[in-house]
Structure 1
C-alpha cells in the first residue's frame, strides 16, 4: 500500500497530455541524437565532455550552495554539503592554476552576468565613466547599454587589428578619468593588445581599473596560446566559460588583487542568488580536464583556424583577410554572397549536419558573412584531415550537391582523439 501511495502511475487510457509529451519527447530525442553527431562551427559555442555533463542531470541541479568558505557553522543549505569541494577545489583551484590568479569567482551565471558584476563592482557608484570597445569594431553589442543602465556614462573606442585607438583612449583617460576600462572583444580575428592599453591607463589615469572580458578567447588564454591579460597589466579578467573554453554556460571572474576580489565579491553577492550549482560542478570537471588537455587543445585551435581559412581560400571561397592575415584566434570570416545566397548556403550545410553562424555586422564586412569558429570541432578531435573533409562539404554546398545527410559524419570520421577523457564518465 505504501508503495502504491508513493508511485504515481499512468492511467490505463493515456490522456492527450501524456501522448503529447511522448511525441515531444520523441522529437527531442531525435534532435539530441542529431546534435551529438553534428559538426558545429559557431564560435560562441562548444561541447561539454561526458564527464562535465554528469552534474547537469543530478539532484544538485536544484540545490543551493552558499558556504564556499566551508564554515562548519554556516550550513544553512545542506544540499551541496557533501560535494562542496567540486566548486571550492576542483573548479576554483584548477582555474586559479590555469590563470595564475590568486582569486577566482565562479558565481556569475553567464558572461553577461559576469559583465554586470564587473561593472557594478569596479566602476564605483553610478555617475562615473566606463570606457569599452565600440561594437562596430568588435566589442559586445550590449556593453555600452549595460553601462548606461547601471548609471554610468559610456565612452567607446574603436579597435583596428587588435590595437585600440590610442589617441582617443588617451583623451578619454585624461578628460574623464574613468573608473573602469572594460575591454571586450566579441568579433575578433586579432589578439587584443592589452599591454598597450594598460600602459596608457597607468600613465594618464592611474586610479582607473582595467578589466578584460575574455569570453571568446578564455580557452586560448588559459591554454597559453594567447597572452594572459593579468600578465599584461589588467586588474581583472573573466567572461563566459562555454566558447573556446569547453565548459558549461557559466561566467567567471579572476584577479590577483585582494581589493578587486572584495569589490567583485560584494557586487556578486547582491546580484546573484542561485549561481546554478550543478553548472559550477560541471565547470569544475571541465577545468580539471582542461588542466590536462588545455595547452595542446588551445594550440590546435589556432592552427586549425588558420588551416581552414587557407584551405577555404584555396578552394575559391571569399575568406576575409587583412593584407593576407586570416586570424590569430579561433574565428575566421567567409563571405558567401547576398543575404539569400548566404542563408541558402547555411541551410544546405545544415542538411548535412554542419552548423554555421551567419552574422550581418562583422567589423569591416558589409552585408552577411559566416563567422566560423573551430573551437568545438577541435575539442572533439578535429585536425587537418577533418578540416579537409569539411572544405569538401563546403564546396559541395556551394555547387548545389544533393545532401545525403552524411556530411558531418564524414568530417567526424576524420577526427582523432578528443581533448577530454573518454573513459571516466
Structure 2
C-alpha cells in the first residue's frame, strides 16, 4: 500500500519548509509548556492519522445513502461507524457526528427545537454561560430571547430556586443546562423536572464534561435531555468538532438542522477521527484516564487553595477549576500573562458576582501526558510562586521544561 503524503513526515519539510517550521514550533511549544487550558487536550496518534487521511479529499454533502456526490461508499462507512460508536458510548438512540464545532451543534439544537423570537432560559454569561447561550454578539442572542439564571453568591452553585422561579415566570420554549466555567455537575434530573413543568425542551450543552461521561466519571445527561450538544475534543481527546445526541423521535429534525440548515458538507476526515476517538473512549484504559483526570483536578484544587488562591465552589467534580488570584496580589489577566511567560498555559474567565476575571484551568492534557497527583502538587506550587512573585517566570520555565521532559505528550 502506498504511503499517502499526509503520512510522510518529510513531505512538508521538502515542499514547504516555512510552514513545516511553524508546525514543528507548535509541537515544541505544546511539548515544553504545560497545557492547563480546560478546553484543550492531546489527540491520539490514531486521531491525528485520521485527520491527515485521504478522506480529507472527499466531499460528502448529505447523509449516508443520500449523498449529493458520487464515490461516497467509504465515507458512508466512516460516518456509520462514528455514529454507531457514539450511540453505544453514550446510550443514545441517535447521534449526528457532522457538526464542525460545539457552537455549530448548539445552533443546530436551537434550529431543531425553536423558532426565532422564542424564549430560552440559560446560565448567564457572567456566571459561566457560553457565547452560544445568548450573547448579544452571537447569533443565538440575536435570534432568541434569552433569560439568564445565575449562581448562588454564597456557594457558587447553580441557584435552583432562581431557575424554577424564572422558568415559571417566563415559560421558555427551551432550557439550556451547561457552562464553560462551572466545576460541579449539573443536576440533569432537576432541569428535566423544571423543563417539564413549564412545557419546555431541555438542551444540555455537555461540551466540557462529555469525555468524563464517556469514561464513567460524570453523570450522563442523555436520559434526561431532549438534545445533548457536545464537542469531541477537550477530555474526549478527539478532533476539534461537535456532536449531537438525541432520541429517535427527534432524529430527523436534528439531522435537517445540521444539514442543510446550518452547515454544508461534512468534513469526512474529522468524522473518521471522531470514530477513532469514540473507539478509544470505549476502552477500560479510557475509563481509568477519565477518573484520573478528576482525581488530579481535585488534588490540584486543594493545593491551589492551600497556596492562597480562592477556588470557586470550594473545589471541583470535573476536570475544570476556576480560581481568583487576587489574594496572591494579581488580577486574572495579569496572572495569565505571568504564567504564560513561565510556560504555564491557561485561560481567564469571569468571576461570578464581580467585575473581575479569574483563571480557568483543567487537568485533561497533563493527565494524558501521564501526570498524577504528585505532579499536581508541583504544578500548584509553580502557579502560586509565579503569581505571588516568589518565582521568576524564567526560573519557573526551567522547572516546567523538566516536568514536560519527563512526561511527553507523544513519546518517541
**SS of residue matched to 1:210:** strand
Q: After TM superposition, list the pairs within 5 Å mapping 1:314-329 onto structure 2.
A: 314=306, 316-322=307-313, 325-329=314-318
Q: In the TM superposition, what is the alpha-carbon distance from 1:300 to its structure 2 partner? A: 1.0
Distance 2:116 2:75 in 1: 39
Instruction: Specify which of 23, 33, 39 is matched with residue 28 of structure 2.
Output: 33
Q: In the TM superposition, what is the alpha-carbon distance from 1:103 to its structure 2 partner? A: 0.4
The reply on whether 1:128 has 2:122 as its aligned counterpart is no
Q: After TM superposition, list the pairs within 5 Å mapping 1:90-109 onto structure 2.
A: 91-109=82-100
Q: In the TM superposition, what is the alpha-carbon distance from 1:215 to its structure 2 partner? A: 0.6
Q: Which residue of 2 aligns with 1:159?
A: 151
TM-score (norm 2): 0.84
Q: Which residue of 2 aligns with 1:42?
A: 37
Check the 8 A contact 1:130/1:147 in 2, yes or no: no
Q: Which residue of 1 aligns with 2:339?
A: 346
After superposition, the Cα gap between the structure-2 partners of 1:415 and 1:21, relative to the gap in structure 1 and judged at 3 Å, is: closer
Q: In the TM superposition, what is the alpha-carbon distance from 1:278 to its structure 2 partner? A: 0.9
After superposition, the Cα gap between the structure-2 partners of 1:21 and 1:337, relative to the gap in structure 1 and judged at 3 Å, is: farther
**SS of residue matched to 2:234:** coil
Check the 8 A contact 1:130/1:155 in 2, yes or no: yes
Q: Which residue of 1 aligns with 2:184?
A: 190
Q: After TM superposition, list the pairs within 5 Å mapping 1:271-282 onto structure 2.
A: 271-282=262-273
Q: Which residue of 1 aligns with 2:300?
A: 308
Distance 1:382 1:126 in 2: 47
Distance 1:407 1:78 in 2: 54
Check the 8 A contact 2:176/2:204 in 1, yes or no: yes
After superposition, the Cα gap between the structure-2 partners of 1:84 and 1:265, relative to the gap in structure 1 and judged at 3 Å, is: closer
Check the 8 A contact 1:129/1:180 in 2, yes or no: yes
Q: Which residue of 2 aligns with 1:147?
A: 140
Q: After TM superposition, list the pairs within 5 Å mapping 1:286-305 onto structure 2.
A: 286-292=277-283, 293-305=285-297
Provide, for residues 161-216 of structure 1, a one-character-per-residue CA deviation record: whole Å limited to 9, x for no partner: 575444443344334432211222111121111211211222x223x210100011
After superposition, the Cα gap between the structure-2 partners of 1:385 and 1:415, relative to the gap in structure 1 and judged at 3 Å, is: farther
Provide, for residues 357-398 of structure 1, a one-character-per-residue CA deviation record: whole Å limited to 9, x for no partner: 233x13246533321110111122221233233234335534
Distance 2:282 2:253 in 1: 28
Check the 8 A contact 1:128/1:178 in 2, yes or no: yes
Q: In the TM superposition, what is the alpha-carbon distance from 1:310 to its structure 2 partner? A: 1.6
Distance 1:386 1:198 in 2: 39
Q: Which residue of 2 aligns with 1:383?
A: 372
Distance 1:396 1:104 in 2: 45
Q: Which moved more, 1:28-37 or 1:54-63?
A: 28-37
Structure 1 regions of 5+ residues with no counterpart? Answer: 1-17
Distance 2:111 2:116 in 1: 9
The structure in which a higher percent of residues are helix is 2
Q: Which residue of 2 aligns with 1:180?
A: 174
**SS of residue matched to 1:399:** coil
The reply on whether 1:216 has 2:205 as its aligned counterpart is no
Distance 1:164 1:174 in 2: 17
Q: Which residue of 2 aligns with 1:250?
A: 241
Instruction: Specify which of 162, 165, 169 is matched with residue 163 of structure 2.
Output: 169
Distance 1:85 1:380 in 2: 32
Q: In the TM superposition, what is the alpha-carbon distance from 1:243 to its structure 2 partner? A: 1.6
Check the 8 A contact 1:229/1:237 in 2, yes or no: yes
Structure 2 regions of 5+ residues with no counterpart? Answer: 1-12
Distance 2:339 2:171 in 1: 46
**SS of residue matched to 1:98:** helix
Q: Which residue of 1 aligns with 2:4?
A: none
Q: In the TM superposition, what is the alpha-carbon distance from 1:153 to its structure 2 partner? A: 2.0
Check the 8 A contact 1:111/1:240 in 2, yes or no: yes
Q: In the TM superposition, what is the alpha-carbon distance from 1:333 to its structure 2 partner? A: 2.5
Q: In the TM superposition, what is the alpha-carbon distance from 1:306 to its structure 2 partner? A: 0.9
After superposition, the Cα gap between the structure-2 partners of 1:137 and 1:153, relative to the gap in structure 1 and judged at 3 Å, is: same
After superposition, the Cα gap between the structure-2 partners of 1:176 and 1:366, relative to the gap in structure 1 and judged at 3 Å, is: closer
After superposition, the Cα gap between the structure-2 partners of 1:86 and 1:20, relative to the gap in structure 1 and judged at 3 Å, is: closer
**SS of residue matched to 1:403:** helix
Q: Which has the larger Rg?
A: 1
**SS of residue matched to 1:248:** coil
